[in-house]
Amino acid sequence: MEIILILTALILSFSLVLVVVPPIIRIAKAKHLFEPFEERKVHTQVVPPLGGVAIFIGFIMSSIIATDGLRFESFKYIIAGVILMFFIGLKDDLMVISARKKFIVQILSAIILITLADIRFTNLHGIFGESNIGYLTSFSITLFTMLAIINAFNLIDGVDGLAAGLGMLAAFVFGVWFYLTQNFHLSVLAFALLGSLAAYFLYNVFGHRNKLFMGDTGSLITGLLISVFVIYFNEINLTTSKEFVVGGAPAVSFAIIIVPLIDTLRVMTIRILQRRSPFSPDRNHTHHRLLTLLHSHLKVTLTIVGGNVFLIAVALGINHWGVNVNLQLIIVFLLGCILAMIPSVILRFKASRQKFRPAKA
């Protein structure tokens, strides 16, 4: 019965997004709802940034229908958070609002989930020698984690298919694990997100007349839901059966979402060192560097998602060997940093070779 609900969420969300994208694009073209062209962006054409509207419709409709009959007390608060992300993201896509206003709404959504739905970290799994934590510490760590993941997915949306590809990977891994541990309500949500992102991915990467971008609407919704999955993954691992328990849950969940987090940390560090605002736009993201090397959005997306799969496999491997959770986190973090730096190192090497190459007579 539960597998039918999960498949319903996947198929229905995928189908809904496939159906609603063409009319959304027709409306966008008729009303001239296009993302303003900017020099730093990697596209040379105006494209509607309304993919998040389709993702929202697909996720909301399929998750409401597929969770019917399942006990899920936090569901209404998750939907409330998603709706807040939808409206602030849509306003930013169509009108452009200040980062401060967008951040305030993100905080409000996170607070709703933490306080009303009680979706929060209650245990650090031995990180820094700490386990059970008080409510204030729990609230602070959870709020920071949610905001970090939401904004990381917002910032990683720089080339076709990348944010969707990373979101699909995370939703699939969490969705399968939730199913194996019989948390079917969470698996439904994960596969509803997976189906919505998969259909959007087809239009975003392979679309011509029907091409559209995810926009802030889609990336904020995706980031919020992934942050919820991360918290539930860590909390459920405290009580789940030994057969599917992940001892180093913080390290494994970090590996699942490491690409956007490392990229955000990297670009913000560069901006601060250059004495600029950490939120100022530029082309220093890893995907921009890879695009210079590979000259293809799809190749960049597949390369980065493939690297993410590798890091997840490494995290699961060292977790299976029973490595201390702190060491697991360090290994995953260092590997993530090394992989993120490779494109820049290659570009510098090629530039130095070009500089010292003797001129032809």
First to last CA, the chain: 76
Nearest in space to 229 (alpha carbons), one of 149, 154, 164, 152? 149
Chain segment 157-210, per-residue pLDDT in tens: 989 999 999 999 999 999 999 999 999 999 999 999 999 999 999 999 998 888
CB atoms within 10 A of CB 352: 10
pLDDT at 40 over 50: no
Domain count, the chain: 1
- Cβ-based neighbours of 221, under 8 Å, separated by 6 or more: 52, 55, 56, 59, 82, 85, 86, 89
CB atoms within 10 A of CB 23: 10
Contact 311, 302 (CB under 8 A): no
- The confidence score (pLDDT) of residue 105 equals 97
pLDDT at 22 over 70: yes
pLDDT at 57 over 60: yes
pTM of the model: 0.94
Please indicate, yes or no, if residue 173 is contained in any of the structural domains.
yes
The whole domain housing 267 covers 2-356
Please indicate, yes or no, if residue 361 is contained in any of the structural domains.
no
- Cβ-based neighbours of 218, under 8 Å, separated by 6 or more: 51, 52, 55, 56, 89, 157, 163, 164, 200
Please indicate, yes or no, if residue 60 is contained in any of the structural domains.
yes
Please indicate, yes or no, if residue 238 is contained in any of the structural domains.
yes
Alpha helices in the chain (DSSP H): 2-30, 51-66, 75-95, 99-111, 135-156, 162-180, 184-206, 215-236, 249-256, 258-273, 286-294, 297-320, 325-356
- The confidence score (pLDDT) of residue 359 equals 56
pLDDT band at 41 (very low <50, low <70, confident <90, very high): low
**HEC letters along 116-141:** HCCCCCCECCCHHHCCECCHHHHHHH
Contact 14, 198 (CB under 8 A): yes
Please indicate, yes or no, if residue 35 is contained in any of the structural domains.
yes
- Cα separation, 181 vs 188, whole angstroms: 13
pLDDT band at 54 (very low <50, low <70, confident <90, very high): very high
> How confident is the model over 41-67, as a mean pLDDT?
87
Please indicate, yes or no, if residue 331 is contained in any of the structural domains.
yes
Nearest in space to 347 (alpha carbons), one of 335, 358, 355, 359? 355
Chain segment 321-361, per-residue pLDDT in tens: 988 999 999 999 999 999 999 999 999 988 887 776 665 54
- Cα separation, 214 vs 196, whole angstroms: 11
- Cα separation, 193 vs 245, whole angstroms: 24
Chain segment 274-308, per-residue pLDDT in tens: 888 777 777 788 999 999 999 899 999 999 999 99
Please indicate, yes or no, if residue 186 is contained in any of the structural domains.
yes
Q: Considering only 3-12, 173-182, 262-271, which range has the smallest mean pLDDT? A: 262-271
3-class DSSP assignment, residue 74 = coil
> What's the token pair of residue 82?
């998603």
- The confidence score (pLDDT) of residue 215 equals 93
Q: Which residue shows structure tokens 């993302």?
A: 35
Please indicate, yes or no, if residue 157 is contained in any of the structural domains.
yes
Bridge partners (DSSP) listed for residue 340:
none
**If you average pLDDT over each of 5-14, 91-100, 317-326, which comes out highest?**
5-14
pLDDT above 70 coverage of the chain, percent = 95
